[in-house]
């Protein structure tokens, strides 16, 4: 089923690698479009505030077209307050800060939740942004507690943080888990406890070793033997097949290793991110608008559903990755991110005001094999899209 696409990158000497040393040349039309879209997003989320019950969080759209919500324990619970922090940062409208604080009060109990690997999503997205934007040091304690809770899921024999406690898996680790490591690297810097950083690096290193194929596509799930660290299975859960490339998994990997390079300056993570970027951007089944199908190996391509969430995550990651590479490579990543953002800002993917259950983007896919959240808005697609727009405005020159 799968074509092996091995992309060999020429690794440039360290002196040519740049960290936050270059920005992309601004597309003035896209800058204007970014502002228009962020203003639309603010209006749309003000509508959403009126429709989401006070004790719940927005998640997606139900099959009957109604708003799908979640409780505070669901893995996506942190994205909505995280997005409202972004919108407060952009608009300075206190209504967004008030809404973020209201929803964060629901999820702050998860700082002590040791039953999930998703504490980066659940806690760092809202509370990390709150700390960054407001400077209120009260958030540090909650984030450090969250990092301690996440660390309890680390098995030093496996060298990874366990993802799930359900199913028949022994010690499952999913590629998504790369996104939760920033909570740990932050905690290490903040607390001075090197243990958090060591867990993050060990998890990232083990994931490089076992999660990626020779073409730098990723398996979704690796099941380990917790007693000796041996790999038991290489599987999928949300992708087409064990051997296929689930598009959001590729985006999680790209974002995760770009972030790990920023956090550690370890060139192994930069090179991994570059390899994954090449896989995504050079893939023969990548559509012309660079918004990927839900799985790169979906047999119904070109009629397969797109996954806008994968496009939003990848766009944000590529903007950042462009800042760490040589000029020519960085320009290519920057230009690809611009194309993705232009696509996402178009009527093909951007909702109309007052529609789409007040989410910003349309046409994401949660888990097609389970017929769950197919061709619907997703709260994390909105989060990474707004993040990407803000990054573009900040870094474009």
Residues with catalytic roles: 118, 176
CB-based burial of residue 32 (10 Å sphere; 0-12 exposed, 13-18 middle, 19+ buried)?
A: exposed
Q: Which tokens is 362 given? A: 């349309």
Question: Could you give the angle at the alpha carbon of 120 between the alpha carbons of 79 and 395, nearest 5°?
Answer: 70
Q: Chain-centre distance of CA 275, in angstroms?
A: 18
* Measured distance CA(60)–CA(321) in Å, rounded: 29
Q: Whose CA is closest to 250, among 302, 286, 304, 197? A: 286
E-strand stretches of 147-290: 154-155, 160-161, 172-174, 221-224, 231-235
What is the side-by-side order of every strand in the sheet holding 231-235?
172-174, 221-224, 231-235
Within 10 Å of residue 326's Cβ, how many Cβ atoms? 14
Peptide bond into 190 cis (omega under 30): no
Which SS3 state, helix, strand or coil, does residue 4 take? coil
SS3 state at 308: helix
Residues 6+ apart with CB under 8 A from 306: 287, 291, 292, 293, 294, 349, 363, 365
User: How many alpha carbons lie under 13 Å from residue 61 in its C-beta half-sphere?
Assistant: 20
Residue 288, SS3?
coil
3-state secondary structure at position 338: helix
């Amino acid at each position: 089923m799968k074509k092996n696409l091995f992309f060999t990158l020429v690794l440039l000497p360290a002196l040519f690698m740049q960290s936050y040393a270059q920005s992309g040349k601004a597309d003035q039309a896209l800058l204007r479009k970014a502002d228009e879209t962020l203003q639309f997003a603010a209006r749309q989320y003000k509508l959403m505030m009126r429709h989401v019950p006070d004790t719940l969080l927005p998640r997606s759209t139900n099959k009957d077209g109604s708003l799908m919500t979640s409780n505070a324990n669901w893995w996506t619970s942190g994205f909505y307050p995280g997005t409202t922090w972004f919108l407060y940062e952009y608009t300075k409208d206190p209504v967004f800060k008030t809404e973020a604080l209201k929803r964060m009060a629901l999820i702050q109990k998860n700082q002590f939740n040791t039953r999930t690997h998703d504490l980066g999503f659940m806690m760092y997205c809202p509370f990390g942004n709150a700390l960054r934007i407001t400077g209120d040091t009260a958030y540090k304690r909650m984030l450090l507690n969250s990092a301690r809770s996440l660390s309890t899921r680390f098995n030093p024999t496996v060298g990874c943080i366990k993802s799930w406690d359900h199913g028949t898996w022994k010690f499952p680790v999913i590629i998504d888990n790369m996104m939760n490591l920033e909570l740990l690297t932050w905690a290490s810097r903040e607390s001075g406890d090197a243990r958090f950083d060591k867990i993050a690096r060990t998890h990232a290193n083990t994931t490089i070793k076992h999660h990626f194929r020779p073409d730098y596509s990723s398996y979704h799930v690796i099941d380990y033997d917790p007693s000796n660290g041996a790999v038991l299975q290489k599987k999928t859960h949300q992708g087409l097949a064990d051997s296929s490339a689930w598009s959001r998994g590729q985006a999680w990997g790209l974002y995760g290793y770009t972030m790990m390079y920023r956090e550690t300056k370890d060139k192994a993570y930069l090179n991994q991110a570059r390899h994954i970027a090449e896989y995504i951007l050079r893939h023969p089944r990548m559509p012309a608008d660079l918004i990927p199908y839900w799985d790169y190996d979906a047999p119904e391509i070109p009629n397969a559903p797109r996954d806008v969430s994968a496009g939003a995550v990848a766009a944000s990651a590529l903007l950042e990755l462009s800042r760490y590479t040589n000029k020519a490579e960085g320009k290519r990543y920057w230009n690809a991110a611009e194309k993705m953002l232009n696509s996402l800002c178009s009527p093909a993917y951007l909702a109309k005001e007052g529609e789409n259950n007040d989410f910003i983007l349309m046409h994401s896919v949660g888990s097609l094999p389970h017929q769950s959240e197919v061709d619907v808005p997703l709260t994390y697609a909105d989060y990474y899209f707004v993040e990407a727009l803000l990054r573009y405005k900040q870094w474009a020159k």
